[in-house]
Structure 1
Amino acid sequence: MIAERKDDHVRFAAEQQRHLGGYNQFDEVSFVHHALAGIDRSDASLVTRFGGMEWKVPLYINAMTGGSTRTGAINRDLAIAARETGVPIATGSMSAYFADEAVADTFSVLRSENPDGFVMANINANASVEKARRAVDLLRADALQIHLNVIQETVMPEGDRSFSSWGPQIEKIADGVGPDVPVIVKEVGFGLSRETISALSDMGVRVADVAGRGGTDFARIENDRRKHADYAYLNGWGQSAPACLLDSQHAAIPVLASGGVRNPLDVVRGLALGAAAVGVSGGFLRTVLDGGPSALITQITTWLDQVEALMTALGARTPADLSRCDVLVHGDLRAFCADRGIDTRRLATRSHSRSHSRSRSHDTAHETVGEIR
């Protein structure tokens, strides 16, 4: 049953990707163009550092799949692309492995095909500490993702119906896997609020991946699997990645952004709104299904080249420097910020404020993306 569900998820996700509209809330973020802001390309670096980790690039292949013959083949292709491009990669939920160890190789292929890469294992919030350690050991994982998916579980015909234990269990896992395995908690496409990220920080979680609305919609996928498809009203639930980033700008832990990322400009927008790195799932899945690992290698290589080109034009020597660029927030995203008490006006002039701040003091530590009032 689990293997069949995993195949269903891939099929429905691929169908969604082929019919997604062109517009999402990343389009409600734009840069103020400063014609003399550019730097030399040789001065730009894609290296990003956060949560005690260092990645060569601020782009990663986010959690997708595993648990069946077909999804194992997909993971193999994704791992080859990760190996050839140097991007970190996460496996999909490893619940199938805990139910049947015979499918272990559909997950461990991420490591066997990518022996020196940064690999993240992925478990649900109900997993025991022992299962978390097994997942890390199977992949020789560099980090552990724990996914939050209460809306997906609610719509899933065979999904969980008890969620009160998730917080305490996340804390146990974060403590139980040890300090050498960073724990990253992510949503699956419905977003993380600043309140949730604050709670995760208190639980010992190292990094939060906001994984917002705008990409693969797992409420819709699970509703498509239901006999009567009676949860259609939940399609589009949650906050977008840009909304989550703006909401969490004062977070005590680093944040990653995923959900609805369509192109290199979206990557740069995410970094400018405070993400330490940006992940892609559905778009890369579509590429690898249509063209295999070679097509995905070409796509990722092109994206990384263009991200560095945009950083150069914007005057950002590092991905973190993008969070000092002037940006404008429009439309519904601006209305969201107003309702959540986020002052977006400072975003449009923060490079000017930074230069004045530097003239007054040379020991400014960290600039935030805005202000929560």
Structure 2
Amino acid sequence: MDIRQQRKLDHIRQALSLEEGPLPNGFKDVRLIHEALPSLDSRDIDISIPFLGKTLTMPLLINAITGGTPQVTDINRRLARIAAKAGIGIAVGSQAAALRDPAMRESYQVVREENPNGIVIANVNPNTPVDQAIKAIEMIQADALQVHLNVAQEMAMTEGDRDFRHWPENLAELVRHCPVPVIAKEVGNGVSFETAQRLMELGVRCIDVGGAGGTNFIAIEMRRRGLASQEFEAWGISSAATLAEVVWSGCRTLPSDERLTIIASGGIRNGWEAAKALSLGANATAVAGSVLKHLLSSSDGEQSVEKYIEEYRQALIVSLTLTNSSNLDTFAQRPCLILGELKEWLEQRCIPLAFWTQRNKENPVY
């Protein structure tokens, strides 16, 4: 087994053993406003969304987890089976291993085999040439391509990349030439307003914010080296803060006839936090660590994940009911409050709180 295959297995083992954080995801500082006199039937609430030309039953993706070694093929097979049954999307882990070694392709291809009609997302690094990225897409008949932005993880790895000079220009080439939409995805340290603006200038129209507060790849890589660094492991922007920054950046940067699709990820643990992310402006949410732990830490792993997804769904429905929202478009117009550290962050970043707190009022910001 080469170092890359061993790293895949180390990632799974460490993700199961390490706690999330140390930074909080920030959603405790987002408060939804209760409606005591709703005018709807909660059984009629629609939480489905159009996404990548298909329909998801709810705004949820199983985010990139693994692939690239035979030992994890069954994980991807089971996750894809769950995604197909639930009607949600799924992304595979980095396909670099399969692009180097065709013998590794099965660990990714099982996802499309088990989920022939659903949304499946490919995954490559920002240095991947266009022809190789297209092979990754074709490998799983992908509906989109994630390009993972993992500079902090690379810096934490002894064997990690150190030269990032060509990331922007190559990402622009991928956006220009790939036959499916490109999703710029952070892996746990967040995307700032300025970075989101640069991504949009490169042609990116979908960003997975991947904020701090969930699976911590810096901590995982440090543990692989037998090290720990509280300062380094606390690097990044919380998921709630990065989501707000990217939402505001999209509104400020793109013309009125264009839209930035935003996926909220990074320590979103349940449908209650997902509702807060959607209220802040996310179009969809994505989870990875919680799903992996349910799958591998329980004797009835698939049933445990299915129960988790159903609880996620029900929390979203209750959240919409309690804000008198018949669907997610209506919910997105409801005001929310921003408190505590998140409020301080946005104020120091000169991002107006009125954008969220004064919806449905005469407000020139919104």
- Residues 183 and 22 of structure 1, relative CA distance in 2, 3 Å threshold: closer
Are residue 280 (structure 1) and residue 281 (structure 2) matched? no
* Aligned amino acid, residue 66 of structure 1: G
Name the counterpart of 2:182.
183
Name the counterpart of 2:351.
342
Name the counterpart of 1:361.
none
1:116-265 correspondence to structure 2 within 5 Å: 116-178=117-179, 181-227=180-226, 229=227, 231-250=229-248, 251=250, 252=254, 253-265=260-272
Greater shift after overlay, 46-55 or 73-82?
A: 46-55
Name the counterpart of 1:71.
72
Q: Deviations over 1:192-226 (max 9, x none)?
A: 11211121122222300101000001111111112
* Aligned amino acid, residue 207 of structure 2: A
Q: RMSD value over aligned CA atoms?
A: 2.1
1:315 & 1:38 partners in 2: Cα distance? 7
Report if the CA contact (8 A) 1:209-1:257 is conserved: yes
Query: Structure 1: which 5+ runs fail to align?
Result: 358-366
Name the SS for the 2:18 alignment partner: helix
Are residue 317 (structure 1) and residue 317 (structure 2) matched? no
Report if the CA contact (8 A) 1:50-1:254 is conserved: no
Report if the CA contact (8 A) 1:38-1:312 is conserved: no
Report if the CA contact (8 A) 2:208-2:263 is conserved: yes
- Residues 31 and 339 of structure 1, relative CA distance in 2, 3 Å threshold: same
Q: Deviations over 1:90-143 (max 9, x none)?
A: 001111112221111111111111111100001100111011111110100011
Name the SS for the 1:122 alignment partner: strand
- Residues 23 and 39 of structure 1, relative CA distance in 2, 3 Å threshold: farther
Name the SS for the 1:328 alignment partner: strand
Name the counterpart of 1:290.
297
Are residue 28 (structure 1) and residue 29 (structure 2) matched? yes
Q: CA offset at residue 22 of structure 1?
A: 11
Q: Deviations over 1:301-342 (max 9, x none)?
A: 221132122212212222233222221112111110011002
* Aligned amino acid, residue 205 of structure 2: R
Q: CA offset at residue 88 of structure 1?
A: 0.3
The number of aligned residues is 353
- Residues 194 and 20 of structure 1, relative CA distance in 2, 3 Å threshold: closer
TM-score, normalised relative to structure 1: 0.89
Query: Structure 2: which 5+ runs fail to align?
Result: 255-259
Name the counterpart of 1:362.
none
Report if the CA contact (8 A) 1:271-1:323 is conserved: yes
Report if the CA contact (8 A) 2:8-2:67 is conserved: yes
Name the SS for the 1:57 alignment partner: coil
- Residues 340 and 123 of structure 1, relative CA distance in 2, 3 Å threshold: same
Are residue 9 (structure 1) and residue 11 (structure 2) matched? yes
1:192 & 1:249 partners in 2: Cα distance? 11
* Aligned amino acid, residue 283 of structure 1: S
Q: CA offset at residue 169 of structure 1?
A: 0.4
Q: Deviations over 1:150-191 (max 9, x none)?
A: 00001111100000100100111111113xx11111100000
Q: Deviations over 1:336-359 (max 9, x none)?
A: 0011002224533323x1xx68xx
1:189 & 1:48 partners in 2: Cα distance? 25
- Residues 71 and 306 of structure 1, relative CA distance in 2, 3 Å threshold: same
- Residues 306 and 232 of structure 1, relative CA distance in 2, 3 Å threshold: closer
Name the SS for the 2:241 alignment partner: helix
1:263 & 1:132 partners in 2: Cα distance? 32
Name the SS for the 1:248 alignment partner: helix
2:87 & 2:328 partners in 1: Cα distance? 16
Q: What percent of counterpart residues are identical?
A: 36
1:173 & 1:20 partners in 2: Cα distance? 32
- Residues 197 and 38 of structure 1, relative CA distance in 2, 3 Å threshold: farther
Report if the CA contact (8 A) 2:333-2:359 is conserved: yes
Q: CA offset at residue 264 of structure 1?
A: 0.9
* Aligned amino acid, residue 316 of structure 1: S
